[in-house]
Amino acid sequence: MRNPLARLIARTAVIAGVIASFAFPVLAQDGTGPMPENAHPRSYGGGWVCDLGYRVEAAECLALNIPEHAYPTGRSYGTGWECDRGYEEVNGISCNRIPVPANAFLRSSGYDWQCERGFRQEDETCVPIVLPEHAYLTDDHSGAGWTCDRGYEAVAGTCSPIAVPENAYLTNADYGAAWACERGFVKIDNRCDAVVVPSNAYLDEASYGLGWSCERGYELLNGACVAIDLPENAYLDRSGNRWSCNRGFRLSDGMCILGR
C-alpha cells in the first residue's frame, strides 16, 4: 500500500502540471513567458513582443500574410497591415492601385483623387471647365468651378451685368441682394429713394423700416417725432423712445401711482 504522503505529492504534481499547461499559453500570449523566435524584449517593463510583421499566437510569433503593396502596422487587431499610399484594400486580402483619371492627382490622404484646377469631376473622369465671359476659376470642387467677376451674376451658365440703380452699391454677397442703397436712401421697388428725415430724428443703419429713428425723448407718432410727455415717477427706457414707471409705482390712466 502506497504511503498517503506519496499519494498526496503525486496528486499535487498532476494538478500543478495541468495548471501549468493552461498557464503557459496565457503567459506566452501575454508576452511574459519564454521569448519565442521572431520576438524581441519590450522597450519598457518586462516580457516580449513579436517583431513587426508577426503576430502572437499561442506561444509563437507567426508571420502575417501581408499582400503586395502593403506594410505591417504592428497592431494586435485587424489584419495587422495597411495598403501603401495610392492603393486600396480589396476584400481584406489584397491591395489594388487606385485608378486616377487623366487631369487628376492623388489627394494627400492617398486614398482618393481630385481633378486638376480647370477641370471638374464627372462620374470617374475629369472634364474641362467651360469658363464663360466675365468669370474666373475657383477652388470649389462641388459646383461649377467658376464664379462671376464683380458686377456680374450667374444666369443660365453665363455672367450677366448686375443692374445697380442710382444711389446704390454692389454688396459682393454670394447670396441675397446683389446691391443695397447708399446711406440716406431707402429701397423702394428697384430704386433707391432719398430718406426724408423729420425734425428730432436721425438716419439709422437698419436695412428695413423708415430709414430713420426718433431722438431720445421723442416718440414716433403719425410719421413725426413728438416729445414724450414724461409723467412724474417715470423714466425713459433703454430705447429712449418709451417710458416706464419707477419701481414701487404702477401705471394708471397715463400716470404712475404708488403700487399696492
All residues at 6 or more sequence positions from 240 whose CB lies less than 8 Å from its CB, including other chains: 215, 216, 217
- Do 123 and 136 belong together in one domain? no
Determine contact, residues 165/192, Cβ cutoff 8 Å.
yes
Q: What is the pLDDT of residue 20?
A: 40
pLDDT at position 30: 58
Residue 147 exposed, middle or buried by CB count within 10 Å (0-12, 13-18, 19+): middle
Segment-wise mean pLDDT, segments of 10 residues, the chain, 260 residues = 48 45 44 88 89 92 95 91 94 94 94 92 92 92 87 93 95 87 90 93 82 94 94 94 94 88
Q: Is residue 110 part of a domain?
A: yes
Which of 81, 109, 128 is a domain's end point? 128
Dihedral sign, Cα of residue 202, residue 208, residue 210, residue 216: negative
pLDDT for the residue 19: 41
Position 158 in a domain: yes
Measured at the alpha carbon of residue 186, what is the angle toward residues 181 and 152, in degrees to the nearest 5?
30
Strand residues in 1-144 grouped as ranges (E): 39-41, 48-50, 54-57, 60-63, 70-72, 81-83, 87-90, 94-97, 104-106, 113-115, 119-122, 125-128, 135-137
Distance between CA 197 and CA 215 in Å, rounded?
11
Q: Which residues contact 13 (CB under 8 A, 6 or more apart)?
A: none
In a domain, 156, yes or no: yes
Q: What pLDDT, on the 0 to 100 scale, is given for residue 27?
A: 42
Q: Which residues form the domain of 146? A: 132-162
CB 95 within 8 A of CB 67: yes
What's the domain count of the chain? 2
pLDDT at 16: 45
**Does residue 205 form part of some domain?**
no
> Is 137 found in the same domain as 119?
no
Q: 28 by DSSP, 3-state: which?
A: helix
pLDDT at 24: 38
pLDDT of res. 29: 54
Specify if 153 maps to a domain.
yes
- Cell 508571420, located at residue: 63
Buried b (16+ CB within 10 A) or exposed e, 46-66: eebbbeebbbbeeeebeebeb
Which of 128, 143, 175 is the last residue in one of the domains?
128
Q: Using an 8 Å Cβ cutoff, are 213 and 204 in contact?
A: yes
